[in-house]
Amino acid sequence: MKTEISKFTSSKGVITTYKLTNNIGASVTLSSVGAGIVSVIVPDSQGNMADVVLGYADVCDYLYDGPCAGKIAGRFANRIAKGELTIDGTKYALSVNCGPNHLHGGPEGFQNQIWESQEIHNGVKFTRMSRDGEENYPGNLYVEVEYTWNDDCELAIKMTAESDKKTVVNLTNHAYFNLDGENCGSILDDELWLNCSKYLPTDESLVPDGTFASVDGTPMDFRAPMIIGTHINSDFLPIVYGKGYDNCWAIDNWEKGKLQHVARLVSHKSGRVLDVSSTQPAVQVYTGNWLSDSPTNKQGNKYSDYDGIAIECQAMPDAPNKPTFPSTFLAPGEKYEEIITYKFSNNNTLH
């Protein structure tokens, strides 16, 4: 594995990037901004290389970008209703930064911080200490995110955390994928499969109501592979609310700590395939419904809505306020540990 390290100056400090290149010339570039993925270059079915992760021309534009492109969202990814959180009878008022709700840990969430970083075998380890009271969350939370890249074009992410006070944790990676290439237009013709027979109904602000609904007979049914754009303009309320898919599904047969296949994304144009596995109980699928407001992309152009899809393995939104959902509380002495893997292949390598 070849590693190239680069340094960039920003208003928030020095940004470090790491380019990991495997023995077939496929590469991943990671950044200390939000412990993020800024590039994944992999071959199509003809052997042509392209970058399949959306991102920006200027590495500094990853700070405070609206899409949270490629980064680790936290301390609590996704939404907490009205920014209200209660732990053992103590109420915490979090920032309200997405309509009436708290999103991705707030304006100074993990995605907008420069993490400490170091090279490890076939990868990079990012660390940070989220201090007690940061974004009004309780507890000093120490977080590690390890990425490893191998010759089979599998990118593995291991996320761990420990706290000295009871708190909540929900971490995910927020990369946007376009298997034709990051500057190649819409993903609506790509095909998606999900290992999910239930989704989470929400209100119009996309906060779950605490129930689980069957995907049977709805546009939410991806148990058989379906072209993403098939129902994107339907009058089905869960899709109308987000101007496309911005919804959470419960993973079938989820067991804490068990890594299992969650999703498959296929481009019939390029022949590239992405398989996503995770230990997390849920997956949020976001079809890039508001990407037109993004910073300038890597080719100097502007993205359009639906130019990328995020497949965010995570805990369920608003879980601290929904006793029907798997717990996201973390007590002193406990360890948060979750894994996400992205396996890239193509029609010539897929078995």
Task: Tell me the C-alpha distance between 205 and 20, whole Å.
Answer: 39
Among residues 74, 219, 78, 43, the alpha carbon closest in space to that of 137 is found at 74
Residue 268 bears catalytic tag: no
CB 228 within 8 Å of CB 235? no
Could you tell me where the DSSP H helices lie in 166-275? 237-242
Task: Tell me the C-alpha distance between 38 and 295, whole Å.
Answer: 13
Q: Choose the catalytic residue: 312, 337, 338, 351.
A: 312
CA quadruple 218, 223, 224, 226: dihedral, nearest 10: 60
- Backbone angles phi and psi of 240, in degrees to 5: -60, -40
What the block records as the tokens of 47 is 């052997």
- Rg over CA atoms, the chain: 19
Count the alpha carbons within 13 Å of 119 in the hemisphere toward its beta carbon.
14
Residue 104 bears catalytic tag: no
Task: Tell me the C-alpha distance between 223 and 229, whole Å.
Answer: 16
Task: Tell me the C-alpha distance between 122 and 22, whole Å.
Answer: 9
Which amino acid belongs to residue 80?
A: I
Q: How far is CA 273 from CA 37, 111, 221, 232, 281, in A?
A: 18, 27, 20, 21, 23
Count the alpha carbons within 13 Å of 280 in the hemisphere toward its beta carbon.
34
Return the sign of the alpha-carbon dihedral for residues 156, 162, 163, 169.
positive
Q: Choose the catalytic residue: 104, 174, 182, 338.
A: 174
Task: Tell me the C-alpha distance between 102 and 214, whole Å.
Answer: 27
Q: What are the residue numbers of the active site?
A: 174, 312
